[in-house]
Structure 1
Amino acid sequence: MSTSPSIRTENLSIHFGGHAAVNNVTCAFHPGELTVIVGPNGAGKTTWFNLVSGQLRPTQGRILLGERDITTLSPSQRARAGIGRAFQLTNLFPKLSVFENVRLAVQGKARQGHRLLARTAALTTLTEKAMDFLEQTNLAAVAELPAAALPHGDQRKLEVAMLLAMEPDIFMFDEPTAGMSVDEAPIILELIARIKRDSSRTILLVEHKMDVVRALADRIVVLHNGELVADGDPTEVMDMELVRDIYLGTGTDEVA
Structure 2
Amino acid sequence: MKKTSLETRDLTIRFGGHVAVNAVSCAFQAGTLTAIVGPNGAGKTTYFNLISGQLKPSAGQVLLNGSDITSMPASARTHAGLGRAFQLTSLFPNLSVMENVRLALQSRAHLGLDLWNVWNRHKALIERAEQVLEDVALAAKRDAHAAALPHGDQRKLEVGLLMALDPDIFMFDEPTAGMSVDEVPVILDLIRGLKKQTHKTILLVEHKMDVVRELADRIIVLHNGTLMADGDPETVIASPIVQQAYLGTAPVEEAAA
- TM-score after normalising by structure 1: 0.94
1:117 Cα deviation after fit: 4.3
8 Å CA contact 2:88–2:158 kept in 1: the answer is: no
SS of 1:145's partner is coil
Match of 1:168 in 2: 167
Match of 2:181 in 1: 182
C-alpha distance in structure 1 between counterparts of 2:41 and 2:225, whole Å: 8
SS of 2:4's partner is coil
C-alpha distance in structure 2 between counterparts of 1:22 and 1:119, whole Å: 42
8 Å CA contact 1:34–1:196 kept in 2: the answer is: yes
8 Å CA contact 1:117–1:123 kept in 2: the answer is: no
| Change over 3 Å in CA distance of 1:120–1:109 after alignment to 2 | closer
Share of identical aligned residues, percent?
A: 61
1:247 Cα deviation after fit: 2.8
SS of 2:36's partner is strand
Match of 2:103 in 1: 104
8 Å CA contact 2:220–2:227 kept in 1: the answer is: yes
Match of 2:34 in 1: 35
Higher mean alpha-carbon deviation, 206-215 vs 240-249, is at 240-249
Give the AA of the match of 1:59. Answer: S
8 Å CA contact 1:116–1:123 kept in 2: the answer is: no
Structure 2 matches for 1:182-221, cutoff 5 A? Answer: 182-221=181-220
1:174 Cα deviation after fit: 0.4
8 Å CA contact 1:116–1:122 kept in 2: the answer is: no
SS of 1:6's partner is strand
C-alpha distance in structure 1 between counterparts of 2:132 and 2:246, whole Å: 38
Match of 2:146 in 1: 147
Match of 1:20 in 2: 19
C-alpha distance in structure 2 between counterparts of 1:43 and 1:232, whole Å: 18
Give the AA of the match of 1:239. Answer: A
For residues 166-207 of structure 1, the C-alpha deviation after alignment (integer angstroms, 9 at most, x for no partner) is: 010000000000000000011111111111110000000000
Match of 1:157 in 2: 156
Give the AA of the match of 1:31. Answer: A
1:30 Cα deviation after fit: 0.3
Give the AA of the match of 1:130. Answer: A
1:23 Cα deviation after fit: 0.3
C-alpha distance in structure 2 between counterparts of 1:114 and 1:153, whole Å: 27
C-alpha distance in structure 1 between counterparts of 2:113 and 2:206, whole Å: 37
C-alpha distance in structure 2 between counterparts of 1:40 and 1:106, whole Å: 35
Structure 2 matches for 1:17-166, cutoff 5 A? Answer: 17-114=16-113, 117-118=116-117, 122-166=121-165
Match of 1:245 in 2: 244
For residues 136-158 of structure 1, the C-alpha deviation after alignment (integer angstroms, 9 at most, x for no partner) is: 11111110111111111111110
Higher mean alpha-carbon deviation, 27-36 vs 87-96, is at 87-96
SS of 2:153's partner is helix
| Change over 3 Å in CA distance of 1:119–1:202 after alignment to 2 | closer
Give the AA of the match of 1:211. Answer: D
1:15 Cα deviation after fit: 0.2
1:126 Cα deviation after fit: 2.0
1:127 Cα deviation after fit: 1.6
SS of 1:154's partner is helix
SS of 2:122's partner is helix
C-alpha distance in structure 1 between counterparts of 2:249 and 2:153, whole Å: 29
Structure 1: any 5+ residue segments left out of the alignment? 252-256
1:91 Cα deviation after fit: 2.5
For residues 20-72 of structure 1, the C-alpha deviation after alignment (integer angstroms, 9 at most, x for no partner) is: 00000000000000000000011000000000000000000000001110001
